[in-house]
Structure formats: structure tokens, C-alpha cells
Amino acid sequence: MEKAICLYDGSYITNGSNDLLFTNCIKSLRQHSSCEIIIYKTSNVNIDGIKNLNNITFIEFKKNDWENKKMCFRIQTVYNHHWNLNDKVIVFDVDMFFLDNPFKIFKNKFDYFYTTRSDIKTSSAAINEGLTGFIYSEKVKNFYNFWINQIHNTTWNAFKKNNLNKNKWLCGQHFLCCLYENKNNLPNTISNVNFFDATCHWNYTTVKNNFNDIYNKIKNKSVGVVHLKGGILKQTKYVSEFLKILDID
């Protein structure tokens, strides 16, 4: 089955109680895919705008589990969630808009996919963790287990040099960058996993908060997903402009 999972604590509220970004992120995904959408959320998250969508599951978590260890908690939550063998799973941030069906990625052959950045040649991090995914299997389960173990007890030298721990924000992104940079020399434990770069087409982030760049990508639907990375593009005045051309019901 096709499934998409996210975690959200209500931090992108842009207009009083009306969470424009989160609500329309979910709506945009539903517009392009009939997948099961699994939302782990804190109690303060307003779901009024999406609670009646079909095939959607809400699971509550405690905010204390999220604070200061967001990415580690997300990795652990995805690992602990009950998946069925061969489930096609997308893990996504909620500060993005879907312009196409991301499950098209699964036309390719892989176990786990990540997305490299639009400015990969100049960015300090080749990968943004905002959209990743996998076809669930024992290999993928073991991969996540290795990832979590490395966060808590790092033995892989390529990852160790980042001096990360479970409370660090980038423990997910840095790990994926290590995979990318060492894809021809991976630890034996995960060397049998087939990794795939779905490219920035499915996780497009602009540089220097370039509103016009994101606006044009949405207007022309020239990428599959736009990711409003950076606080400026999440402001109500910008989100409202994006929504005018997104045409989300």
C-alpha cells in the first residue's frame, strides 16, 4: 500500500488558529494521491481543515518527546510505526506543497530514497531530509535500526566526525549526507540497501528565501514538490500568495 507519514507540533501556525501551511500541505498531498496519510501530532495542532479527508490517520504524541530532539524522535517514530511488507512509504515535512503525485518516485527500483538539493554543488549539505521514503522490508527495518544506533552510539567514522548526538537537529540530514558521500564505501551492515536519489524535483528548496523562485515553480508546476525551507517563506503573507495559485480545494 501507499502511505505517507509526518510529525507536527503546531509550530507553523500562520494566521491565528488557521494553520495555513500545515493544512494545505496535507490537502495538496491528498489532491494528488489517495495514499493513507498518517499524521503524528501534538494535542494543540488544529486539524479542523483536514479531519474529514478520507484515508487519514491521526496519532497523538507528547510535545516533551519532540522538543530538543525532533529529528531523532521522527526517525524513531517511523521505525516504530507498524508497516506491512512492501508498503511504499513517504516521510515528509509539513512545510511543503505537493504539485504532483510523489508516489511516482516508486516507478524506480530502490529500497530507500532521499533527495539531493537544487544547489548541491554549493551547499554545505548535499541532501535535505524533508522528503524521503522506502519500500518496507527487513532490509529497511535493519537500516533504520542501524541509523538509530549510530545516533546514540556512533561507530561509523564518517558520521562520527559530525559530533552529533540524539538531541541534535541534524542527526537525520547529516546521516543521509554521509550515506550520499560514502555511497561506494558503506558499512557492511547497510551495504545491501539499494539507495536512490529522487533529486530536488521532489523536494525543491530555494536559496536565500527566493519568493519568486518558489512562486514560479508552483505556477508552472515545474517540480513535483516545493519545500518552504527557512522561516521567511513560512510567513502568512507569502503562504497566502502561494495558495492563490495552488488551487487547492
Residues 6 or more apart whose CB falls under 8 angstroms from that of 238 comprise 211, 228, 232
Q: Would you say 2 and 226 are in contact if contact means Cβ atoms under 8 Å apart?
A: no
CATH number of the CATH domain containing 88: 3.90.550.10
| Cα distance between residue 9 and residue 239, in whole Å | 19
Instruction: Quote the pLDDT of residue 119.
Output: 81
Would the pLDDT of 207 be above 70? yes
Residues 6 or more apart whose CB falls under 8 angstroms from that of 174 comprise 125, 159, 162, 164
Instruction: Quote the pLDDT of residue 164.
Output: 61
Q: Would you say 73 and 39 are in contact if contact means Cβ atoms under 8 Å apart?
A: no
Would the pLDDT of 100 be above 80? yes
pLDDT band at 158 (very low <50, low <70, confident <90, very high): confident
Helix H or strand E encompassing 4: strand 2-8
* Weakest mean pLDDT among 86-95, 122-131, 221-230, 237-246: 122-131
What is 67-116 written as a DSSP string? TT-HHHHHHHHHHHS---TT-EEEEE-SSEEESS-GGGGGGS--SEEE-B
C-alpha cell recorded at residue 175: 546521516
How many domains does one find in the chain?
1
Residues 6 or more apart whose CB falls under 8 angstroms from that of 128 comprise 115, 117, 173, 203, 205, 227, 229
Residues 6 or more apart whose CB falls under 8 angstroms from that of 118 comprise 200, 204, 205, 206, 207
The residues with which 134 forms a beta bridge, in sequence order, are: 89, 112
| Cα distance between residue 230 and residue 209, in whole Å | 7
| Cα distance between residue 121 and residue 57, in whole Å | 39
Instruction: Quote the pLDDT of residue 118.
Output: 85
Range of the domain at 204: 2-246
Would the pLDDT of 90 be above 60? yes
